Amino acid sequence: MEKSNEYKLIPTFGNSFGTGWRVMVDNFIRLLLIVIIVAIVTGPSQIVNFKFDASDFHGRPWEWTGNIHSIVNWASIGMVAAFFGLLGLLYSFFVVPIFKYGANMTFIQAVRKIKPDFEYLIRGFWENYLHIVLANLLVIALVVLGCFALLIPGIIIGCRLAFVSYIVMDKKLDPIEAVELSWKLTRGHGWRIFAMGLVSFFIIIFGLILFIVGIFPAIMWISSSFATLYQSVLIEKEKPAEPALT
């Protein structure tokens, strides 16, 4: 039996993960390289999570002694930590989203049977840069505000805005339009997206258990699955309504 050239795209939980697995296998090397590149790029942004513990410096030359020299030394350390923290924050807001949004577009290409284009990882720097950065900030702000409202609204908002990054790259819409379209596309699919996110958490854990390197296939599978869901919902919403029988 001849294998179909197109993926079966139905916006369901099972089909998204099933087709996502096929997409990952069919484009394994390219998608693996993309995931590795994004992991390397996002690494420096983790500096913003720097944990400072005074006990780590016990017995060092700059240990607190109560004199003016100790004050100057500790102030200098604090300034350096603040400086690198600020750099990490700026990097995570103005550089990392370009690569993440670009990577999402390559997974959409894979779902569409188009060879993933590595140029998308950096294309956002000269094409659609402002929309990517602002959309990322807008989504973060909305989710954080929702989480402040007893967490559940934040989860709902996060699920309903799951397609923003795809829309910004695929449709070239501005942040507000992307949020509005994502909200429209995900109507009726919120619980499905939540369930996929929950299962994705355990896939990540399982990938880490497999000698850590399993995290890369895990991320590839999850990314392929969500890109599959996006494309499936897009097809479903854009399908012309069947004419009513007279």
Q: Is 152 exposed, middle or buried (0-12, 13-18, 19+ CB in 10 A)?
A: exposed
Number of structural domains (the chain) is: 1
- 245 is a domain residue: no
Per-residue pLDDT tens for 177-212? 999 999 999 999 999 999 999 999 999 999 998 877
- pLDDT tens, position by position, 118-138: 999 999 999 999 999 999 999
Q: Which domain holds residue 46?
A: 13-238
pLDDT at 96: 95
- Report the chain's mean pLDDT, rounded to a whole number: 85
CA distance 169 to 128: 8
Specify if 88 maps to a domain. yes
**For residue 50, how many C-alpha atoms fall within 13 Å in the half-sphere facing its CB?**
18
Q: Are 34 and 27 in contact (CB under 8 A)?
A: no
What is the rounded distance in angstroms from the CA atom of residue 73 to the CA atom of residue 67? 10
pLDDT tier, 86 (very low <50, low <70, confident <90, very high otherwise): confident
Residue 227 located in a structural domain:
yes
Name the nearest CA neighbour of 27 among 217, 163, 231, 215.
217
pLDDT for position 62: 45
Q: Is residue 5 part of a domain?
A: no
Q: Does residue 199 fall inside a structural domain?
A: yes
Predicted confidence at residue 186, as pLDDT, reads 96
pLDDT at 73 over 90: no
